[in-house]
Amino acid sequence: MSQREPLILGIESSCDETAAAVVRGGREVLSNIIATQHELHEPYAGVVPEIASRAHIERILPTIREAVREAGLRYEEIDAIAVGHRPGLIGSLLVGVSAAKALAWSLDKPLIGVDHIHAHLYAGLLEDEPVTFPALGLVVSGGHTSLFLMKDFERIRVLGRTIDDAIGEAYDKAATILQLGYPGGPRLDKLAQLGDDEAYELPVSMLERNSLDFSFSGLKTALLYAVCGKPEGRGSSARMPRDASSLSDLEKADFAASFQRAAAQAIVRKLRRAFKQHKVKTLLTGGGVTANSRLRHELEQMAAQRGLDLRLPRMEFCLDNAAMIAGLAAERYRAGAFDDWTLAASPRSETVSS
Ligand code: KG4
Ligand code: ZN
């Protein structure tokens, strides 16, 4: 790579990972440091926003220092500071945005604010070749399940999104129903590999005929009733007749495999529908659930059948990370599209709806 390729420090703090990374030229990842907070949120079986922001404050500076050190650089050698500034938990985002502004100001370097969802779509380009547009983009994470039509990384249109739970949220709730602990997605994935995916028939929601929206709450409720039985009584006195502790290990694995099959099918069938409506040959994917073994396998099969350029992120770039932030920021750096000190954290993405 030529020496003029920009060296960008990326910062990510939108949810429960404090992350910093240095990426050269949008592709070459020189460091990718992730300080996870899972142990802090585990007792609550979900992310507690106040705990998350406090932990970001404690971890952000050591994480940034480690990323710069591991990249073998001095701060002055970095060309720009990029930060995921939306969407996410506002208190968490503010920590990353404040750190990025302080660094950019003190080093006299440009500041680049990046949309976290768009960065997930970029993750499959890290350590890989550029792609041809237009493309379909799929983000499947704990907070989002969305399908996009992309002319490039600046012109992104929402084709569909979940009308209830995000797929990662459904995975985490399914894991809670099966008493697998937190975070549930990876544990359910592991257990599913020991089970029979046809043991239980769970619903695959497709919504109306041409809809590209997703729905996962029906699948989650079907699993709840299959494992625990239908609730007895009404309102606050309603009780589930049993729980997952009455299941054998094999039964749990069968439920996990059957859930995973239905969840992956919901994504793949919706993608087939999207490819009928939009003649594109590139599929960019990202978000924590792209780490799921079943979904990866099915997406690879679909790409092989259709001759798609499928970009599944490497495992270390599936979950929240800062390499994807620094990578996407290189596009903005080349265009000279920098932010000023008014860059604000925002809980929402500003991607245009269809
Ligand atoms: O992208 P991410 O780190 O955070 C958000 O932006 O939301 O995604 C986290 C989500 C969690 O719901 C987690 O359970 C899920 O990704 N996840 C998985 C797997 N690894 C992480 N879900 C299914 N299978 C996995 N292997
Ligand atoms: Zn994410």
In this prediction, residues 191-200 reach a mean pLDDT of: 98
Cβ of residue 289 lying under 6 Å from some atom of ligand 1:
yes
pLDDT > 70: percent of the chain: 98
> Residue 34 Cα, ligand 1 centroid: separation in angstroms?
15
Cβ of residue 191 lying under 6 Å from some atom of ligand 1:
no
Mean pLDDT over each residue of the chain, to the nearest integer? 95
In this prediction, residues 182-204 reach a mean pLDDT of: 96
Cα Rg of the chain, angstroms: 21
> Residue 170 Cα, ligand 2 centroid: separation in angstroms?
15
295, amino acid identity: L
Question: Residue 3 pLDDT more than 70?
Answer: no
- The contacts of residue 183 (CB under 8 Å, 6+ apart) are 38, 142, 172, 175
Beta-bridge mates of residue 232: 239
Atom of ligand 1 nearest to the CA of 168: 12
> Residue 165 Cα, ligand 2 centroid: separation in angstroms?
15
Long-range CB contact pairs, 50-53, < 8 A, 24+: 50/91, 52/15, 52/16, 52/89, 52/91, 52/92, 53/89, 53/91, 53/92, 53/94, 53/95
Q: Of all protein residues, whose CA lies closest to atom 14 belonging to ligand 1?
A: 185
**pLDDT value of position 233:** 86
In tens, the pLDDT along 209-241 reads: 899 999 999 999 999 999 999 999 888 888 999
Long-range CB contact pairs, 301-307, < 8 A, 24+: 302/268, 302/271, 302/272, 306/275, 307/281
> Residue 289 Cα, ligand 1 centroid: separation in angstroms?
5
Q: Which range (73-82, 118-127, 161-170, 206-215) has the least confidence?
A: 206-215
Nearest ligand to the CA of 170 is: 1
Q: Of all protein residues, whose CA lies closest to atom 8 belonging to ligand 1?
A: 288
In this prediction, residues 311-337 reach a mean pLDDT of: 97
Question: Residue 353 pLDDT more than 60?
Answer: no
DSSP result, 130-182: --PSSEEEEEESSS-EEEEEESSSS-EEEEEEBSS--HHHHHHHHHHHTT--S
Answer for the pair 268, 302: CB distance below 8 angstroms, yes or no: yes
- Among 282, 270, 272, CA closest to 152: 282
Residue 21 burial by CB count (10 A; 0-12/13-18/19+): exposed, middle or buried?
buried
Q: For a substitution probing ligand 1, which of 193, 285, 319 has the most ligand atoms within 8 Å of its CB?
A: 319
Sign of CA dihedral 271, 277, 278, 279: positive
**Separation CA 13–CA 32 (nearest Å):** 14
CATH 3.30.420.40 segments of the chain:
7-124+317-353, 131-313
In tens, the pLDDT along 245-256 reads: 999 999 999 999
**pLDDT value of position 338:** 98
Q: For a substitution probing ligand 1, which of 171, 315, 321 has the most ligand atoms within 8 Å of its CB?
A: 171
Cβ of residue 142 lying under 6 Å from some atom of ligand 1:
yes
Cβ of residue 172 lying under 6 Å from some atom of ligand 1:
yes
Atom of ligand 1 nearest to the CA of 14: 6
Atom of ligand 1 nearest to the CA of 143: 7
Q: Which CATH class is domain 7-124+317-353?
A: alpha beta
In tens, the pLDDT along 47-72 reads: 899 999 999 999 999 999 999 999 99
Return the exposure string of 237-248: e unless at least 16 CB atoms fall within 10 Å of the residue's CB, then b: eeeeeeeeeebe
Task: Look at 315 and 16; give whichever has higher pLDDT.
Answer: 315
In this prediction, residues 127-154 reach a mean pLDDT of: 96
Domain 131-313: give its CATH superfamily: ATPase, nucleotide binding domain (3.30.420.40)
Q: For a substitution probing ligand 1, which of 93, 193, 289 has the most ligand atoms within 8 Å of its CB?
A: 289
Question: Residue 354 pLDDT more than 70?
Answer: no
CA torsion angle 207 159 313 191 (round to 10) = -10
Question: Residue 46 pLDDT more than 90?
Answer: no
**pLDDT value of position 182:** 83
In this prediction, residues 347-353 reach a mean pLDDT of: 71
Q: Give the confidence band of 37 by pLDDT, cuts at 50, 70, 90.
A: confident
Residue 258 burial by CB count (10 A; 0-12/13-18/19+): exposed, middle or buried?
buried
Q: Give the confidence band of 351 by pLDDT, cuts at 50, 70, 90.
A: low
Check: pTM over 0.85? Answer yes or no: yes
- Among 103, 94, 15, CA closest to 65: 103
> Residue 168 Cα, ligand 1 centroid: separation in angstroms?
5
**pLDDT value of position 238:** 87
Question: Residue 1 pLDDT more than 80?
Answer: no
